[in-house]
Structure 1
Amino acid sequence: MPKRNRSPPPRPDLNLGVKPHADASMVTFLLQDKEVEGLQILKDGQWFRVPIVPNAILINAGDQAEIMSNGMFKSPVHRVVTNSDRERLTVVVFCLPNSKMEIGPVEKIINEKRPRLYKRIKNYGAICYENYQLGKRQIDAVKI
C-alpha cells in the first residue's frame, strides 16, 4: 500500500475522530487498522482502548440488536480518537433492517421476569439522527 503524505492535525489531543455514540445498526462489522489504534469503549464511566487484533473482524451489537433482544445484548457507547503521528484507516459495515420494517423486542422473550423495555418502532435511523443532533443517546427515546 502506498504511503500517504498527510500531516497530522495541528492539535490531535483536542480532536476526536468520532464523538461518543452507540451504533444505530443491528450489527456492525469493523476491520481495524493493522497498526494504529483509535477505537475506545465506555465502561463504568471510563474509556478503554480497544486493542488491535491483526486480521480480526470486530463485531459490535448495535441499538437495534439491543431493542430486539429486550436488552439482553447491549449496544456499547464508543468513540474514535485521532493519532498525533499516524493516519488510521478502518473499514466499517453496518447491517440494519429496512426503515419501513417495524422492530421491537421479540415477543417470546417478554415475560414477568423480563418485562418489555422498548417500544415497537419504525425508521430507527430518523430517531437516531434527531437525538444524535441533540447530544442524546438515541436508544433512550424508545425505552418504555
Structure 2
Amino acid sequence: MTSINVGDRAPNFTLKNQNGESVSLSDFKGEKAVVLYFYPKDDTPGCTAESCAFRDSYTTFSDAGAEVIGISGDSVSSHKQFAQKHNLPFTLLSDQGNQVRKLYGVPATLFILPGRVTYVIDKEGIVRHIFNSQLDFQGHINESLKVLQAA
C-alpha cells in the first residue's frame, strides 16, 4: 500500500458524489484548496459527529478558500441519505471497493475498521497536512483550519 506524505502531489481520482455526478480532485486545481477526509461509514456515531463538525465549520472552510470532501466506501444512495439527514453542504464521494483509500494509503484501525484520516491539499495539488485519528473527530476540523488559515 502506498502512503502519501506531506509535500507529495495528491493522487488524482474520479468518484461519484451523493448525486451520482463524477467529481475529480483535479477539478479544484488552481481554484481551491481541498480538505479531503476519509471516514469509515455513513450514519455511525463517530462519522456523524465528524461530518456534522465539518458542516458546522463549513463557512469557515469556504472563507479560507477550501472545499470539504468526505470519502467512504458507502454507496451513492447511502451518501445521499446521510447528507440529507444531517444537512451536509459539502460533497460526499463513494469509494466502493476502496481504490482511492488504498491509493492514499489510509491505514485500517485495529486492522478491520477503515481509518479516519484527513488530508489538506493546496490549490496546486500538494499535500500540506495529514491528520490521522480514529477518535479525535474535532481534531480533524481544528487541524485542517489551522493549516488553511496559516497559508
Q: Name the TM-score, length of structure 2 as normaliser.
A: 0.26
**Structure with the higher helix share, 1 or 2:** 2
Q: Name the TM-score, length of structure 1 as normaliser.
A: 0.27
Structure having the higher Rg: 1
